[in-house]
């Protein structure tokens, strides 16, 4: 039986600002363009998992606003199961502001909104997890939610894949229950500064590829247009390929290819057909 990728995470409407360079403290830099897109690490990763061929279910919250309704419909278009995506009446849909410089590098500021209204009661959505499933989580949730969700998933025999981004310290016993914990180079340095060393660590290395224990997989060389969602494409595809039965190395190869494809379009998620000018 094929399992599912269940993503417990965040979603947001993204405001993209293009500029020649990132501003210094106290400096004003003019943006050449402004564009609204769709993001949030949880939703990005769930879309990537669905596109990689796995049954994908998203657990999260949106505000009772037009942005939330639009996002629910969009996820459905990608084939994501949104039956556990709840409306939170007292908070707006999450928002992120993304600053992109002339080298296509980005800086991101997130206002979580409804994402931080996820509470322990909402984790009842994990009660039907099985040993065939993978729970995938980015670290944009409140720490206690990540800790409890990991424990619940492991009690049911499900595998947990944790993307420790943005970085925040978590109990080592929680991290040890995940397979793997995914970090980029910067997050790895922060982890090491906290004195945390893990055997179950997968490090994404940008243009140098990725490393998981003794496994090393090169990156796919492409011309990057927008790096915003590359890490999320990697995480979602990795989880999907693992749940579909790939080996760790096969999953890493597929994830690297997905990350390369992601940086060749604008925005964290691939455009829908109508956004490409298709009928």
Catalytic residues: 232
CB atoms within 10 A of CB 261: 17
């Amino acid at each position: 039986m094929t399992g599912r990728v269940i993503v417990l995470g965040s979603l947001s409407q993204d405001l993209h600002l293009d500029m020649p360079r990132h501003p210094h403290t106290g400096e004003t830099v003019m943006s050449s363009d402004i564009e609204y897109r769709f993001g949030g690490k949880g939703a990005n990763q769930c879309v990537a998992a669905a596109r990689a061929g796995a049954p994908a279910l998203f657990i999260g919250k949106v505000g009772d606003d037009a942005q939330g309704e639009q996002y629910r419909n969009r996820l459905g278009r990608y084939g994501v199961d949104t039956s556990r995506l709840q409306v939170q009446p007292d908070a707006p849909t999450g928002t992120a502001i993304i600053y992109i410089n002339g080298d296509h590098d980005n800086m991101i500021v997130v206002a979580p909104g409804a994402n931080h209204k996820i509470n322990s009661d909402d984790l009842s959505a994990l009660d039907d997890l099985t040993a065939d499933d993978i729970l995938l989580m980015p670290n944009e949730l409140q720490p206690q939610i990540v800790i409890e969700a990991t424990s619940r998933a492991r009690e049911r025999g499900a595998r947990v894949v944790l993307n420790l981004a943005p970085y925040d310290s978590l109990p080592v016993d929680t991290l040890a229950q995940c397979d793997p914990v995914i970090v980029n180079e910067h997050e790895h340095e922060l982890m090491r500064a906290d004195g945390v060393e893990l055997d179950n660590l997968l490090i994404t290395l940008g243009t140098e590829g990725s490393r998981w224990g003794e496994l090393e997989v090169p990156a796919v060389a492409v011309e990057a247009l927008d790096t915003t969602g590359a890490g999320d494409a990697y995480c979602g595809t990795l989880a999907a390929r693992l749940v579909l039965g790939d080996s760790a190395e096969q999953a890493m190869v597929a994830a690297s290819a997905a990350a390369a494809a992601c940086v060749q379009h604008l925005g964290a998620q691939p455009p829908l057909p109508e956004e490409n000018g298709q009928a």
